[in-house]
Chain A
Amino acid sequence: MSYKKPIPVPQGESDYYWEKAKEEELWLRKCNECQEAYFYPRDISPCCFSKDTSWIQASGRAKLFTYGIVHRAPHAGFVDDVPFVTAIVQLEEGPKMATNIVIDDPTPEKLQIDMPLEVVFDSITDEITLPKFKPE
């Protein structure tokens, strides 16, 4: 069975993120000047534009910041998935990221803003695993 959705192409500064996702861990970059974690991974921090940055492992806990429920597939690869949830979650460490909420038959009633979530990992190819979230 071949995977029909768009597949991320890791870049030099995101290789580590994708390697760790494959090991079912979620890692973030952190700015050592202001101590803020940020997403998406960049070698130079967007907060202080500093090169003094490091990688930290995220707890995997998050809150639902906002979402949509997609009824009209935007791409052939998603036809069998509708309705599905596109979400922005706020990680416990602060940054927000785009993701999917893994939930059967999504409705607004099942999706409350600020509800607690935890990361799950969806291995889509031998190389790539996508971090997604499900209700805690």
Chain B
Amino acid sequence: MTDLRKTVAIVGVDESDEIGKVPNKSNLQHHAEAAHNALQDAGLSMKNVNGLFTAGTSTLNLAEYLGIEPSFTDTTAVGGSSFIIHIAHAMAAINAGYCDVALVTHGEAGRSARSRAGGNDSDPGPQFEVPYGYIGAPINYAVAARRYMHQYGEDRVRQGMAEVAIATRKWAQLNPKAYMKDDMSFDDYHDSRWISWPFHLFDCCLVTDAGGAYVITSAERAKDAKKKPVWVLGAAESHDHNMISQMPDLTRTVAKNTGPAAMQRAGVTHDDIDLAMIYDSFTYTVLTTLESLGYCGPGEAPDFVANQRTAPGGDFAMNTSGGGLSYTHSGMYGMFLVLEAVRQLRGECGQRQIKDPKLCLINGTGGSLSSTGTTILAVD
């Protein structure tokens, strides 16, 4: 495989103007505001953009709204991980010469619009899962978490899930843009209401309105960017099912493949990485992902996150924005993992800034634990 390390860089990132509860703004408005802000962060204009990437709506719809004619277009939509996978696709397209300024956008009025893309009745899901009430992520992910508890012990898994919820909330308290900043104790976690057993409310991500965007460009153009380039070292993607009942192993995601592949392409190992952005749709998603990525063995994640190891001041910096659990989660959250990774690597995170990080691993998960994209980012 061609060595693509540092051939492209992320040079601009931002959210839409307001995130959280934003009545009266459409999905596309969030896309456009975030695009505007990310381009400004990059010191580029919409006139420079010739590669367009999104998920959740077609790039047809998006390009018309933005008023551009892209020379490379990609609507890869495999759930919330899509925006991590777009990094890899942009890397390939830029290296092939199809475009040199790639804009990736997300926008979803998840709280206010409550409109999700409808399924096709002829697909298997509407015949074999939906009629039984398998509707929405909390129900789909719950059955996976229950199986994991059966294999590895309910009490210790419950404790691990609580550790993740509370550690993530502590990070959110340091992020002015976070939606949920109230103190959360272990009692608060255990007392929160059941959504879909074994998930408490505090095992579940938020539902907010938000947009986000980032700009990727060639190494050549990145030299002229306003801020220091955040290099893409390596990336990988995969998926192994769509319906949760078809997942080959409910306790392991395809991060078991994309993690090692991305690290190998980047030429790094776990020990080299300074911080991790792990899609936290649910507390359980973090546990299974850490194991799948190889940070610890099967069933060991509850020990790995014990004693608030992933909280501010802990020795494993993870989801420093406050994550999908406490910062924001519009529906397809992957975009916001990229924003936080870039800001941490640039040193822009204020109170929650990690000391001088050089390497960040991002892992997005999409669908019903169906798809993953892993990317390694770095600064010089």
Contact = CB atoms under 8 A, between A and B. Distances in A.
Nearest to B141: A68
B72 to A, nearest CB: 32
B243 interface: yes
Interface stretch (A29-37, A51-59, A72-80): A72-80
Given A68-B139, A69-B196, A113 B245 contact: no
B146, B199, B243 pick with most chain A CB within 10 angstroms: B146
Interface in A1-30: 5-11, 14
B134 A86 contact: yes
Given A40-B124, A108-B197, A68 B131 contact: no
B196 A96 contact: no
B70 interface: no
A42 to B, nearest CB: 9
A112 B77 CA distance: 37
Given A6-B126, A98-B129, A87 B196 contact: no
Interface in A75-96: 75, 78, 81, 83-84, 86-88, 96
Interface in B119-154: 121-122, 124, 126-136, 138-139, 142-147, 150
Given A68-B146, A69-B196, A98-B243, A5 B128 contact: no
Interface in B172-195: 193-195
Contacts of B127: 8-11, 14, 40
B195 A65 contact: no
B244 to A, nearest CB: 7
B253 to A, nearest CB: 16
Contacts of A67: 143, 146
B364 interface: no
Contacts of A113: 146-147, 150
A132 B245 CA distance: 15
B198 interface: yes
Nearest to A106: B197
**Interface bin, chain B:** 35 or more
Given A72-B138, A86-B142, A100 B196 contact: no
B194 A71 contact: yes
B131 A130 contact: yes
A22 B138 CA distance: 31
Interface residues of A, number: 37
A70 interface: yes
B143 A97 contact: no
A8 B131 contact: yes
Contact of A98 (B122, B196, B197, B245): B245
Given A9-B127, A97-B128, A68 B245 contact: no
A124 B197 CA distance: 26
B250 to A, nearest CB: 6
Contacts of B121: 9
A40 B146 contact: no
Nearest to A71: B194
24 contacts: A6-B130, A6-B131, A6-B135, A11-B122, A40-B127, A66-B147, A68-B142, A68-B146, A68-B196, A69-B196, A71-B193, A72-B138, A74-B136, A74-B138, A78-B133, A84-B133, A86-B142, A88-B147, A88-B244, A97-B128, A113-B147, A113-B150, A130-B131, A132-B132
Cβ-closest 4 pairs across A and B: A68-B142, A69-B197, A66-B147, A98-B245
